[in-house]
Chains A and B, each alone.
Chain A
Amino acid sequence: MIIASRKPFAEIKKSIELYENILVVGCGTCVAVCLAGGKKEVGLLASQLRMSFALDKKKIQISEETLERQCDHEFLETIREPLKEFDCLLSLACGAGVQFLAETYPGKKVFPGVNTSFIGVAEAAGLWTERCRACGDCLLAITGGICPRTLCVKGLNNGPCGGMIDGKCEVDPERPCAWVSIYERLAEEGRVNQIEIMFPPTDFRFQTKPGRVTHRAYLRRYNAGSK
């Protein structure tokens, strides 16, 4: 899932203080799970904003709404009517959700309330760590289910750098070296030979921005081009 964390309160407040009628829009999927932008966080932020503006003696109306997802037309459409009364939307969705909200409602001032961090997993309650760089050319089949492009700070394709010390990363001695993990896992499984050949340079055409994926069914239905 997408992991995000809330922006500092002062930054959020400063971005919206020119407006009078603000809707804080949460997202009920990834950012809700990582406790950054779900219904509960919308409520907390809205209360904090109300108290802060009240202390400043500013008359600013703060309302709350949380959608199932902000990255989907179906859910964004549900707020088309109520949205008309607001002059500012503060979205607690990831960067994709914020942009889709802004795109769906041109003319509305849209501001982000979280910083989007990475694609990751919940290791424990309150601990999320990165697992995928969305490179578009997955090599986990060869590297024993451990991604060097994500977990090696240098994204190396062919083994550890010389900075690895006692199995730990050159940059963070608390973190295991990704290539040591890959080597040990493959050694246990009797598959080290998979990484003995040189991986060719990464083909960055798979990562050309902005990305686009089209399902076969979409092409059939809309008779769209191959892209």
Chain B
Amino acid sequence: MPDPSKFAQALGTDSFIVTCELDPPKGFVPSLLDRKIAVLKNKVQAVVVSDNPRARMLMAPVGFCRYLLDQGLELIMTLTCRDRNRLALQSDLLAAAGLGIQNILAVTGDYITWGDHPEGKPVYDLDSIQLIWAISQLNSNRDISGNVIEGTAPSFTIGSAVALTGNPVGPQVLKFRKKEKAGVHFFMSHPVFDLADVEEFFKQVVEIQTPLLASVCLLTEEQIRGYVLGNYPGLLIQDSLSDKFKSVHSTEFQPRMIEHTARLIETIKKDGRFRGVHLMLQGAEEQIGELI
């Protein structure tokens, strides 16, 4: 079995982990993102490569990950259940293992109508729990039909998402527990904007054995001004936050939002329940230095 990834090793220490999401290019020239890549390389433990985020068609994560590996980055490759059936998911995982990609974030995937091909057929042959189980099977040298995988078994570190702010919280706790049973190694939350919003979840999940990273999203002006409950997948912005920023002038918006988000990161760091933060900077990756 290959050595555990650097990210897996970091999960085993007490250090506070920082990861950052990076979308692959909408095109075939990954070097277009070189400036962002150079900045992130020195700031985070791992870059989380998204998989057609919000159902927008981008370069396949396995291809972009290969480019980032050549740049010496530690990677977490996202794999959604939306675009591939069980054969395609597993064969992409074999490709990832073959290229040296060791960390996978297994998620359901935003529904296809959110994206730029809304008329397409969504797949969801497996759900995220079944995908976690499938990756665990590959780690044991078997595919999900029980066939033997040739050669050395991959040693994927398996991550998944958890909606800490879900309401009602019961069904989200149920799913969280099922993911733990399916073999997940770490969790990344959906965006958290205020730790008060996660208290209901932690009332039911008093002790977390699996490392959990809180996701922090640097909101854009458009998201704050145009937000209506349900108009952006997985995003729950409370009125108190919108009200705080609605009157801020455009020229001041981003610096103020960065300041606010940096404070949130500090709060999360001191909280003690989180092993790190996962940053979703939505295009502003070069400004990561102002946040951490």
**B170-186 toward A: CB 8 Å interface, digit per residue (1/0)?**
11101101100110000
Indicate if B120 sits at the interface (CB-CB under 8 A). no
Name the distance in Å between A201's Cβ and chain B's nearest Cβ: 5
Residues of A near B46 (CB, < 8 A) are none
Indicate if B288 sits at the interface (CB-CB under 8 A). no
Q: In the bound complex, how far is the Cα of B91 from the Cα of A1, in angstroms?
A: 40
Residues of B near A167 (CB, < 8 A) are 167-168
Stretch at the interface among B3-11, B18-26, B126-134, B240-248: B126-134
Most chain B CB atoms below 10 A, which of A154, A164, A177, A195: A154
Whether A160 and B130, one on each chain, are in contact in the complex, defined by CB atoms closer than 8 angstroms, is: no
Whether B86 and A201, one on each chain, are in contact in the complex, defined by CB atoms closer than 8 angstroms, is: yes
Stretch at the interface among B107-115, B205-213, B251-259: B107-115
Residues of A near B168 (CB, < 8 A) are 167, 180, 183-184
Residues of A near B130 (CB, < 8 A) are 157-158, 198-201
Most chain B CB atoms below 10 A, which of A160, A187, A197: A160
Whether B133 and A198, one on each chain, are in contact in the complex, defined by CB atoms closer than 8 angstroms, is: yes
Knowing A154-B124, A165-B229 are in contact, say whether A198-B171 is a contact too (CB < 8 A): no
Knowing A180-B168, A198-B181, A201-B144 are in contact, say whether A158-B190 is a contact too (CB < 8 A): no
Knowing A156-B127, A159-B171, A165-B236 are in contact, say whether A171-B111 is a contact too (CB < 8 A): yes
7 contacts across the A-B interface (CB closer than 8 A): A158-B130, A159-B178, A164-B163, A168-B230, A180-B171, A196-B177, A197-B178
Residues of A near B110 (CB, < 8 A) are 163, 170
* A residues apposed to B, CB below 8 Å: 153-168, 170-171, 173, 177, 179-180, 183-184, 187, 192, 195-202, 204
Q: In the bound complex, how far is the Cα of B190 from the Cα of A184, in angstroms?
A: 23
Whether B230 and A165, one on each chain, are in contact in the complex, defined by CB atoms closer than 8 angstroms, is: yes
Whether B124 and A156, one on each chain, are in contact in the complex, defined by CB atoms closer than 8 angstroms, is: yes
Knowing A158-B178, A159-B129, A200-B130 are in contact, say whether A164-B166 is a contact too (CB < 8 A): yes
**B63-81 toward A: CB 8 Å interface, digit per residue (1/0)?**
0000000000000000000
Q: In the bound complex, how far is the Cα of B176 from the Cα of A195, in angstroms?
A: 13
Name the distance in Å between B81's Cβ and chain A's nearest Cβ: 8
Name the distance in Å between B117's Cβ and chain A's nearest Cβ: 15
Whether B113 and A171, one on each chain, are in contact in the complex, defined by CB atoms closer than 8 angstroms, is: yes
Residues of A near B158 (CB, < 8 A) are none
Name the distance in Å between B93's Cβ and chain A's nearest Cβ: 15
Q: In the bound complex, how far is the Cα of B231 from the Cα of A170, in angstroms?
A: 9
Whether A198 and B129, one on each chain, are in contact in the complex, defined by CB atoms closer than 8 angstroms, is: yes
Given A154-B122, A158-B127, 11 additional A-B pairs, CB 8 A: A154-B127, A156-B127, A158-B129, A160-B171, A162-B172, A163-B111, A163-B233, A170-B234, A177-B171, A180-B168, A180-B171
Q: Which of A156, A168, A183 contacts B174 (CB 8 A)?
A: A183
Whether B171 and A179, one on each chain, are in contact in the complex, defined by CB atoms closer than 8 angstroms, is: yes
Knowing A156-B108, A171-B113 are in contact, say whether A162-B177 is a contact too (CB < 8 A): no
Name the distance in Å between B79's Cβ and chain A's nearest Cβ: 15
Q: In the bound complex, how far is the Cα of B111 from the Cα of A202, in angstroms?
A: 19
Residues of A near B171 (CB, < 8 A) are 159-160, 164, 177, 179-180, 183
Q: In the bound complex, how far is the Cα of B171 from the Cα of A180, in angstroms?
A: 6
Using a CB-CB cutoff of 8 Å, which residues 96-145 of chain B contact chain A?
107-108, 110-111, 113, 122, 124-130, 133, 144
Q: In the bound complex, how far is the Cα of B125 from the Cα of A166, in angstroms?
A: 26
Knowing A154-B111, A156-B124, A162-B163 are in contact, say whether A170-B172 is a contact too (CB < 8 A): no
Q: Which of A170, A173, A201 contacts B126 (CB 8 A)?
A: A201
Indicate if B161 sits at the interface (CB-CB under 8 A). yes
Q: In the bound complex, how far is the Cα of B234 from the Cα of A168, in angstroms?
A: 12
Indicate if B277 sits at the interface (CB-CB under 8 A). no
Indicate if B162 sits at the interface (CB-CB under 8 A). yes
